[in-house]
Amino acid sequence: MAFVNRDLAPDEPHWAEDGTYMAYLKVRQDLDRFNALPVADQEQIIGRRKTDGSRLDLQAGTDPRTEGEFVAPTPSPNSHVRKTGPRGALHDRTLIFRRGVPYLNIREDGGLDGGLQFVSFQSSLDAFEVMLNKWEFNPNFPAAGSGMDRLFIEGYATIEKAGFFFVPPRDNRFIGASIFDPPPTAGRSRGPGRIVIRKRVIDASGNRVLAEVGGIGFQVFQADTNQPIGGVFMTDSAGHAVSDDVPLNTPLVLREVSTPAHLEPMPEHTFTVTQRRQLVKLDNRVRPGPAPGYGG
């Protein structure tokens, strides 16, 4: 979840193995305005009860670890919890490790300026980008017209600063020592390989679209016999997927066997895997017509 694994990210340099990407946000909160709201309004904006943190659509006291998909109209689609923490088999695969540290400053008038120092760690910033841009600030997530996160769009929270960093892996020599190590000698690839998918959604002009890229199924076939190799493997909401083992130096066909309704199917892709982990970048076009929303 949080550490770089080059078996899943062959485009990362050798020295990044076991490192992590850090995202930082300084989020100022309008404490006076928010605290002036009735508790019921505060709970609607957040989507959780103030007493125990349980979701409004579940019984009070429900353990957050048992929360399932949202099925009720409450909390609203643009509540903070629905915009940043969707549930279900598809969205649960997009993971980050996050912590928030509150800060407070006393103004000259005796009031408080405060907020949150948000920090998250993830194996790829793609996961953070999904949560921030594809979910929280995408007005068409989880459905067309849902609106952006109420906490931000109504001015109760504002991102003042942001930064993105790579944290090198721990090394007893000194911080970042692996950056100066020569890459491992590339011997002849033996045994099976795997296909590492990176999927995007684009429009007719080739521009990237903030649409769901998770739940797209692939299967690999032998080019000469059309026999399947391994099972169906699926993309997550960042558009990442990894196949089962496939033979090296053998003509293969990659087929998209399940495509969400908001996307045009991708033509089959013929290629040969020549290394243990081969990166394949693929695009789907969003279907023409009225804006379909996020599609998740």
Domain termination site, one of 148, 167, 186? 167
Residue 233 covered by a domain: yes
pLDDT, tens digit (0-9, with 9 covering 90-100), for 214-248: 999 999 999 999 999 999 999 999 999 999 999 99
Pairing of strands 194-202, 277-285: parallel
DSSP structure class, residue 198: E
pLDDT, tens digit (0-9, with 9 covering 90-100), for 81-111: 999 999 998 899 999 999 999 999 888 888 8
Stretch (H or E) spanning 17: none
Residue 53 covered by a domain: yes
| Backbone torsions φ then ψ of 126, nearest 5 degrees | -60, -40
Same domain, 162 and 271: no
193 burial class (0-12, 13-18, 19+ CB within 10 angstroms)? Answer: buried
Contact 217, 258 (CB under 8 A): yes
Per 3-state DSSP, the chain is made up of helix, strand and coil in percentages (nearest 5) of 15, 30, 50
Closest residue by Cα to residue 277 from 221, 189, 196, 188: 196
Residue 130 covered by a domain: yes
Residue 249 covered by a domain: yes
32 burial class (0-12, 13-18, 19+ CB within 10 angstroms)? Answer: exposed
Residue 296: band (very low, low, confident or very high) from pLDDT cuts 50, 70, 90:
low
| Residue linked to tokens 């196949």 | 243
Q: What type of residue is 141?
A: F
Residue 70 covered by a domain: no
DSSP structure class, residue 131: I
Its domain, for residue 47, covers 20-63+76-167
Residue 104 covered by a domain: yes
Closest residue by Cα to residue 29 from 137, 159, 146: 159
Stretch (H or E) spanning 212: none
Residue 2 covered by a domain: no
pLDDT, tens digit (0-9, with 9 covering 90-100), for 111-169: 878 999 999 999 999 999 999 999 999 999 998 899 999 999 999 999 999 999 999 99
Query: What was the pLDDT predicted at 107?
Result: 86
Q: What is the pTM of this model?
A: 0.90
Count up the domains in the chain and report the number. Answer: 2
CATH number at 95 reads 3.30.70
Residue 208: pLDDT above 60? yes
Percent above pLDDT 90 for the chain: 83
